[in-house]
Amino acid sequence: MTPKQQELVKKSFEKVRPKGTEIADLLYKKLFELEPKVAGLFRGDMKEQKEKLMRMLQIAVEGIDNHAELQPMLFNLGRIHHSYGIEGHQFMSFQESLLHALRTSLGTEFTPEVEDAWKAVYLYMATTMFNFPHHDEQVQVPHN
Ligand code: HEM
């Protein structure tokens, strides 16, 4: 992920952010087509979930050059997703859904260069989420 790619992602996110949760609407619609079983894992209000996703994407995109701050947040998010039982291949379907949503929303502005930049940023986010430190999950022996 190059500084140029970080800049392209920031700029394109600035264009879609004023459209509210449009990206999340498109993303989840596609995700539930690709992974119908995942839909049942969303227990809460989807409107709230879409806002949560948009906020998280905003934090990640704005902080993409601040690895030290972003990494613990992504580890935490990864830990939560691990507890839902989300698997590796589902992260690929999520990527496909995100790219579809961006392509639909940005139209001709979603150039191959912008697409590659989002792929690089998503790869960083997904791999960080996936590789949260599992040793934190060890059973704690109570002290007497
Ligand atoms: C970079 C990738 C992803 C991001 C940024 C992301 C973001 C989020 C956020 C912010 C939440 C809310 C967590 C909370 O309530 O504290 C969430 C929940 C959730 N996500 Fe993701 N997610 C990602 C990937 C995935 C993937 C790959 C799947 C499955 C295909 C998935 C399925 C879910 C489910 C089932 C929930 C729980 C909803 C509920 O509690 O009702 N997410 N995600």
Q: Measure the CA–CA gap between 28 and 6, rounded to whole angstroms.
A: 24
Q: Which of 80, 84, 95 is nearest to 31 (CA)?
A: 95
Model confidence pLDDT, tens digit, residues 27-82: 999 999 999 999 999 999 999 999 999 999 999 999 999 999 999 999 999 999 99
Q: Whose CA is nearest to atom 7 of ligand 1?
A: 53
Listed residue (61, 75, 78) closest to 114, CA to CA: 61
Domains located in the chain, CATH noted: 3-132 (1.10.490.10)
Judged by DSSP in three states, 138 sits in coil
Single pTM value for the model: 0.92
Residue having the nearest C-alpha atom to atom 9 of ligand 1: 53
pLDDT at 77: 97
Q: Which atom of ligand 1 is nearest to the CA of 35?
A: 30
Distance CA 62, CA 7 (A): 10
Tell which atom from ligand 1 comes closest to the C-alpha of 44.
41
Residues with CB under 6 A from ligand 1: 35, 38, 41-44, 49, 52-53, 56, 77, 80-81, 84, 86, 90-91, 93-94, 125-126, 129
